[in-house]
Amino acid sequence: MDEFFSHRDGELRCEEVPLAELARRFGTPLYVYSANAIRARYRALVEAFAPDPPLVCYALKANHNLAVIRTLAALGAGADTVSAGEILRARRAGVPASKIVFAGVAKTDQEIRLALEKGILQLNVESAQELERIAAIASAVGRSAPIALRVNPDVAATTHDKIATGRKHDKFGIDLAEAPALYERANALPGVEPVGVHLHIGSQILDLAPFERAYGRAVELVRELRARGIPIRRLDLGGGLGVRYGDEGPADLRAFAALVRRATAGLDLELVLEPGRFLVAEAGVLVASVIYLKEAGGRRFLVLDAGMNTLVRPAMYGARHAIAPVRAPRPEDEILRMDVVGPICESSDIFGRDYRLPRLGPGDLLVFHTAGAYGMVMASDYNSRPSPAEVLVDGARFAVVRPRREPEEQMASERIPPWLDDPGRA
Ligand SMILES: Cc1ncc(COP(=O)(O)O)c(C=O)c1O
């Protein structure tokens, strides 16, 4: 992805556009996405599976900006959604309903109705209760819902505990042992048509062996279901492919495609993948400004205008992003060790200790690499700081795809109830 974020004339650019110029125009913190980096990732994934690529349903949860979804939809991507809001976003961005899968952990009746109205490809069912609910709602509106059961293969992905989802004790999916009976039930129920098997074992996975184990178990289930006369035709393998945050990654696509081919050989299955992070993480950076360089308690703190309210992954998962100055370091620059922190009143508002960076001062710009996934989507108004603008760069063109929201706008939708109108009467 270095080709999309590289230094030229001493300045870091996204494609053809200097990040400093974007920061000047749109303020910091600022998220910047490279459209061509997103396209390159999508194409690499599809090409790894040539000549028979799966349907790639982009997991909107990674970055749900309409312009990002549209960039992928224009290449033929579908959407993996987890809420009514995401289904609406996918449709608004131009993803056909026939390429949308819906995998929410707790789908409400309203959401199930919306999915049925839109005629999406598949609902991924998380529990026996949900199966009954979908069947009842679909029957009531005279439809049949194409479904897959999300099975829990009891495989531990080699990743952070908080983003592993395929172990027995995780809240996701249906025990493999219970799946055949539930498929029998689904097959007998009016209102649902069991067409697929779904699994997703976690996120930021670079060691491919757990995928192979989990897919093997899913394929065994497909065989068993077919033997019982339940005509499963689709296998939705979930997302999870890892990316490069530091020296590791990204996931080896050729090896991944080969293991999927091995696991599914001879079964004539329609395959679906649900990558989120893999498609967009490295295509995005967060640009931040230095507010202070502070020395205290024997440490040196680089204090930024971006914090856990802007990029929560370090505080939430202990994730570490590569950080670099926007101005190319010069050989004579003094390199210092510093703890990079945000402005939020929480001790957990720290991006990491002992970053090695040139001496920086107020107003200098930094980038956080690999910030395109689970960045802006998890940002919050905590501490009432402006929420960052998002910019999409495409060659030499760029556009604000979500404007910065100042505190006035954040407050605009809030109301003071009438009985509090007069503080004297409260
Ligand atoms: C069901 C499902 N599919 C796909 C994804 C996307 O994962 P990733 O961004 O790691 O590809 C997730 C993420 O949690 C998920 O829960």
DSSP string, 25-89: HH-SSEEEEEHHHHHHHHHHHHHHTTTSPPEEEEEGGG---HHHHHHHHTTT-EEEESSHHHHHH
pTM: 0.95
Q: How far is the CA of 83 from the centre of ligand 1 (A)?
A: 13
What's the pLDDT score for residue 163?
A: 64
Report whether 343 contacts 189 (CB < 8 A): no
Concerning whether 345 is annotated as a catalytic residue, the answer is yes
Find the helix packing angle between 128-140 and 179-188, rounded to 10°. Answer: 10
CA distance 143 to 171: 29
What's the pLDDT score for residue 425?
A: 56
Q: How far is the CA of 61 from the centre of ligand 1 (A)?
A: 8
Q: Is the CB of 103 under 6 A from ligand 1?
A: yes
Q: Is the CB of 64 under 6 A from ligand 1?
A: no
What the block records as the tokens of 1 is: 């992805």
Q: Is the CB of 242 under 6 A from ligand 1?
A: no
Instruction: Assess whether the previous peptide bond of 51 is cis (omega < 30° from 0).
Output: yes
Which helix (H) or strand (E) segment is 17 a member of?
strand 17-18
Q: How far apart are the first and last CA of the chain?
A: 57
Q: Is the CB of 196 under 6 A from ligand 1?
A: no
Q: How far is the CA of 82 from the centre of ligand 1 (A)?
A: 10
Q: Among the options 188, 296, 345, 412, which is catalytic?
A: 345
Question: CA dihedral defined by 86, 91, 93, 98, rounded to 10 degrees?
Answer: 110
Ligand 1 atom nearest residue 204's Cα: 10
In the chain, count of helices (H) and strands (E)? 12, 21
Per-residue pLDDT tens listing for the chain (426 residues): 789 999 999 999 999 999 999 999 999 999 999 999 999 999 999 999 999 999 999 999 999 999 999 999 999 999 999 999 999 999 999 999 999 999 988 999 999 999 999 999 999 999 999 999 999 999 999 999 999 999 999 787 767 776 667 666 767 789 999 999 999 999 999 999 999 999 999 999 999 999 999 999 999 999 999 999 999 999 999 999 999 998 887 999 999 999 999 999 999 999 999 999 999 999 999 999 999 999 999 999 999 999 999 999 999 999 999 999 999 988 899 999 999 999 999 989 999 999 999 999 999 999 999 999 999 999 999 999 999 999 999 999 999 999 999 999 999 999 999 999 876 655
Domains in the chain and their CATH numbers?
A: 2-32+281-412 (2.40.37.10), 104-273 (3.20.20.10)
What's the pLDDT score for residue 424?
A: 62
What's the pLDDT score for residue 78?
A: 98
Q: Is the CB of 173 under 6 A from ligand 1?
A: no
Nearest to 105 by CA among 34, 176, 200: 200
What's the pLDDT score for residue 44?
A: 98
